[in-house]
Amino acid sequence: MPPSLTSISDEAAIVFDNIADRAANLVNPTLRLGVTGLSRAGKTVFISSLVHNLLHGGRLPLFEPQRSGRISNTRLEEQPDDAIPRFQYEDHIRALVKDRVWPDSTRAISELRVTIDYKSASGWNRLFSPGRLSIDIVDYPGEWLLDLPLLGQDFREFSERTATLARTGIRAELARDWLAHSAATVMDAPADEMTARRLAESFTAYLKACKSDERSLSTLPPGRFLMPGDLEGSPALTFAPLPDMPDTPAPKGSLRAMMERRYEAYKTVVVKPFFREHFARLDRQIVLIDALQAINRGPEAVLDLERALADVLACFRPGSNNLLTSLIRRRIDRVLVAATKADHLHHESHDHLQALTRRLVERAIHSIGMAGAGIDVMALASVRATREATVHRDGHELPVIVGTPMAGETIGSEHFDGNRKTAVFPGDLPENPEAFFRALDDPAASHHLPELNIVRFRPPMLEETGGGITLSVPHIRLDRAMQFLFGDRLA
């Protein structure tokens, strides 16, 4: 985030927090890991599975400290920030393992501390390291991350960008009521609370329609309009962009002046505290995306996901930390973009999903003129809800996935009750990502885009050992994600 987006007082607070964190690290080495996700990508499930596998010695062959036997103990400890809600790991893992339901998405920031005791692989490091690392997992909604670019936009820029996007593609239909209300509003008339409320409600309805499962669009700031929490009904959330504003300053006491003031209040009350108190203190970050859902919804959802990724990645400044930079201004030195729900595809398509996601990230990075150093991409399943099989049809072998569809899911004319298993051919992703994006950019070639059969499955039934101990949650590439995110800190 460019320094111009924060005030001198903000910078001073960030420096103070970083000095305090650095002092605490001398006694207890700590890594702050940010976890966020876009549009139901499964961040709650990711955190729950990561912690469960660490605590229960899960199958993590690509997580070197575990594979080599250097980890002696992993435990949950009291988090350092008393003012932040605790990530309710126990409730979420009970939902996954005992009830076999997906846990509710968190709608606010939360935190969990996992402490690992380990033996360094280096004899030199063993002399100076306590052999202990605390990982503070900071869980926050992706919508909050998408708010950070607002710090660099005044109300006019925000209004113009939002209106331009709302007038394109499928958004034009979804935004019709809000745009009509805006066009009928005299923005330089005296400020009126009911007019402001009607505009805010209409704009919020548009954002909710964009986020719905049927659309799966990702670029949705301001994020608190979709999850207001205790700010619901406050003036800081009772505003809306005003398309086609005149170039003249807003008349004092006008509706336009009210909207400008409330937009600035939103940045001051909501966005800046999140940036200063949480985001600016992160060391590593994972961004979870549901690329499969976007692909399944069509070209517009994919292009919107690319736009959201560009906004997200523009917030990060990957680069190495040294003592001086970490004291003055932390840098997030590793960012992982992970396409989730790889278990909804046969393993033959996992590499294709990863290649498509990597190309999507590269396009997003290119669009904002940013280098990709410190950014990695992978396809994973935090919890593997399916297994693979082969069925024979018309003399051919067809690779399928087998699982228990959630109650209410349908495949063709079949309706599922949440108890019956079935085999699904999910479809194939293209092997060449360039061909996919050529078809994506050319409406005439959209018939070349893949047709996927995406079904929501229940979490798996976990087996127990002879002693009644539940086995760790199965996954796909969670160990590789752990190695990238903090394996080096356990070397």
pLDDT digits (tens, 9 = 90+) for 96-126: 999 999 998 878 899 999 999 999 877 666 6
Neighbour tally for 116: CB within 10 Å: 21
Among 268, 286, 316, identify where a domain stops: 268
Q: b vs e for 273-297, b when ≥16 Cβ sit within 10 Å of the residue's Cβ?
A: ebbbbbbbbbbbbbbbbbbbbbbbb
Percentages helix, strand, coil for the chain (3-state, rounded to 5) are: 45, 15, 40
178: containing domain:
154-268
In a domain? residue 458 = no
> Residue holding tokens 């207001």?
228
355 and 434, same domain (yes or no): no
CB 475 within 8 A of CB 53: yes
Among 234, 268, 302, identify where a domain stops: 268
**pLDDT on residue 321:** 46
Q: Considering its fold, how many domains does the chain have in total?
A: 3
**pLDDT on residue 368:** 82
CA angle at 50 for the pair 308 and 213, rounded to the nearest 5°:
40
313 and 251, same domain (yes or no): no
**pLDDT on residue 440:** 82
Q: Give the three-class secondary structure for 341.
A: coil
253 and 322, same domain (yes or no): no
In a domain? residue 457 = no
437 and 485, same domain (yes or no): no
Torsion sign over Cα 364, 369, 370, 371 = positive
Cα gap 77→56, rounded to integer Å: 16
In a domain? residue 253 = yes
In a domain? residue 469 = no
**pLDDT on residue 465:** 60
Task: Give every residue of the chain whose pLDDT is below 70, as ranges.
Answer: 1-27, 123-130, 317-330, 444-448, 464-470
124 and 180, same domain (yes or no): no
426 and 321, same domain (yes or no): no
In a domain? residue 454 = no
109 and 165, same domain (yes or no): no
**pLDDT on residue 324:** 38
In a domain? residue 468 = no
DSSP string covering 149-209: GGGG--HHHHHHHHHHHHTSTTHHHHTHHHHHHHHTS-TTSBP-HHHHHHHHHHHHHHHHH
In this structure, what token pair is assigned to residue 165? 């996007």
In a domain? residue 467 = no
**pLDDT on residue 17:** 58
Among 268, 301, 323, identify where a domain stops: 268
302 and 432, same domain (yes or no): no
**Positions of E strands within 78-131:** 110-118
439 and 379, same domain (yes or no): no
Q: What is the pLDDT of residues 427-465, one digit of tens each?
A: 889 888 888 888 888 876 666 678 888 889 999 998 766
338 and 480, same domain (yes or no): yes
CB 471 within 8 A of CB 384: no
Cα–Cα distances in angstroms (integers) from residue 241 to residues 52, 167, 221, 318, in the given order:
43, 13, 11, 32
Cα gap 10→6, rounded to integer Å: 6
480 and 340, same domain (yes or no): yes
The residues, ordered by sequence, that sit 6+ positions from 414 with a Cβ below 8 Å of its Cβ are: 422
Cα–Cα distances in angstroms (integers) from residue 1 to residues 29, 36, 170, 193, 312, in the given order:
26, 17, 31, 34, 11
Closest CA to 385 of 177, 87, 100: 100
Neighbour tally for 138: CB within 10 Å: 24
In a domain? residue 470 = no
Q: Which helix H or strand E contains 10, and what residues bound it?
A: helix 8-27
164 and 310, same domain (yes or no): no
